[in-house]
Amino acid sequence: MGGRCPTMTWSSVGRTVRSVALLALLLAFGHSAHAHELRPAIATVGFDAPGRLQLELTANLEALVAGIGPQHEDTSAAAQAPEYDRLRALSPDEFRAAFDAFAPRLIEGIDLRLDGKRVPLAVRAVEIPEAGDLDLARISTLRFAAEVDRDARILTWRFDPAFGESVIRLAKAGSNEIIYAVFVGAGAEDQVALGDARPKSAAAVFADYLVVGFEHIVPKGLDHILFVVGLFLLSPRLRPLLWQVSSFTLAHTITLALGVLGIVSVPPSIVEPLIAASIVYVAVENILTDHLQRWRLAVVFAFGLLHGLGFAGVLTEFGLTPAHFVSGLVGFNLGVELGQLTVIAACFLVVGLWFRSKAWYRRFVSVPASAAIALVGFYWFIIRVI
């Protein structure tokens, strides 16, 4: 050792093959006494838009640049140690220069493929912390970006064996949530379907939420269905129905947006019983009167505000990514709307079309149906309050 401090190397006897491959290469650097246990590089792949891939890599960059990797495990770690230590002590700017010379080699060693096609990575940012405490390893963050095929589905990851172990992770599109993470031994390969990491176009998000909105009314939203049926039963003529539906729609659109934006928040324990109460109200009024009162429009508007808060609760629970906020919100609201129109169309086809001109329509259709709805609404109100 020629007067130098002793050197030692650590390796793994983990039970699995990849653990055995090698771990915890501990480097005791003779000339400065800094010993940093190596840890796997962590690679996170995400998309900020269709076809725009982002790769974040956090790693002990000095070890990569100095060439301290698994192949040195036994004998040659000491050979790179002085270089590692020199790099470790550099300021971020100085080390950046050393890294830039190494970057092409690193990129060559990041074998990232989408549907088998190599992703052409370009360094977008290098975040190197201050040298700080030399007793600690410095973990830097590299950000790469690449234009890729927006229809790609399968990701393949392989980190050059010389760079050691890695963890490959996928972030959900439009969020930082990690939906996949796997440890990859030195030289090993991992393949994964992009799934929810794959960003959707605004049109696809719109279509998805349209379906969610529709399904929230038909078949899931029996309470909303009964409310709309209640509006229908007031009068078999089109005009009162249009007024009511427009008033209701305008109102729930407002509170849906305000609720999802978090500007207005009312707990479900208040909203849900009131929605039940709104059903009782319109049904009872159908029995008491046969034409549209002016104040009924105001009341329907108020109930629309309530139902909108209920919709907001559903949409918030379902999740709306910031990247597609508007298309998701509009899609959902339109889906709700289509659901309601479907209910009205069904009512019209079942009873309205055939019986609305009959003298007995009100007595034998509207009043008994409204009474039944009022009872159901009252029952819901009770169980939602308790």
Q: Does an H or E element contain 370, and which?
A: helix 367-385
Q: Quick check: helix, strand or coil at residue 193?
A: strand
Question: Which tokens go with 42?
Answer: 């962590």
Question: Which tokens go with 191?
Answer: 């393949």
Kindly state the smallest distance separating residue 10's Cβ from another protein, in Å.
Answer: 4
Based on CB atoms, which residue is closest to another protein, 31 or 117? 31
What DSSP line would sit under 133-191, residue for residue? -TTS---EEEEEEEE--TT--EEEEEE-GGG--EEEEEEPTTS--EEEEEEE-TT-EEE
Per CB under 8 A, which of residues 147..186 are in contact with another protein? 167, 169, 178, 180-183
Per CB under 8 A, which of residues 40..99 are in contact with another protein? 40, 42, 74, 85, 89
Based on CB atoms, which residue is closest to another protein, 35 or 287? 35
Based on CB atoms, which residue is closest to another protein, 184 or 276? 184
Rounded alpha-carbon distances, angstroms, from residue 56 to 62, 156, 175, 350: 17, 15, 14, 58
Based on CB atoms, which residue is closest to another protein, 20 or 242? 20
- Tell me how many residues contact another protein (CB under 8 A): 46
Based on CB atoms, which residue is closest to another protein, 56 or 208? 56
Considering only 134, 162, 202, 277, the residue that binds another protein (CB under 8 A) is 134
Kindly state the smallest distance separating residue 88's Cβ from another protein, in Å.
Answer: 10
Task: Note whether 126 and 99 are within 8 A (CB).
Answer: yes
* Phi and psi at residue 118, to the nearest 5°: -60, 130
By CB under 8 A, residue 32 contacts another protein: yes
Considering only 136, 222, 250, 383, the residue that binds another protein (CB under 8 A) is 136
Based on CB atoms, which residue is closest to another protein, 36 or 324? 36
By CB under 8 A, residue 116 contacts another protein: no
Q: Which stretch binds another protein (CB under 8 A): 64-72, 134-142, 225-233, 244-252?
A: 134-142
What DSSP line would sit under 53-92, residue for residue? EEEEEEE-HHHHHHT--GGGTTTTHHHHHHHHHHHHHS-H
Q: Which stretch binds another protein (CB under 8 A): 4-12, 208-216, 244-252, 258-266?
A: 4-12
Residue indicated by tokens 């427009």: 246
Considering only 48, 100, 108, 135, the residue that binds another protein (CB under 8 A) is 135
Rounded alpha-carbon distances, angstroms, from residue 302 to 101, 252, 256, 257, 307: 66, 9, 13, 15, 9
Per CB under 8 A, which of residues 291..320 are in contact with another protein? none
Interface ranges with another protein (CB under 8 A): 1, 4-16, 18-19, 23-24, 26, 28, 30-33, 35-37, 39-40, 42, 74, 85, 89, 133-137, 139, 167, 169, 178, 180-183
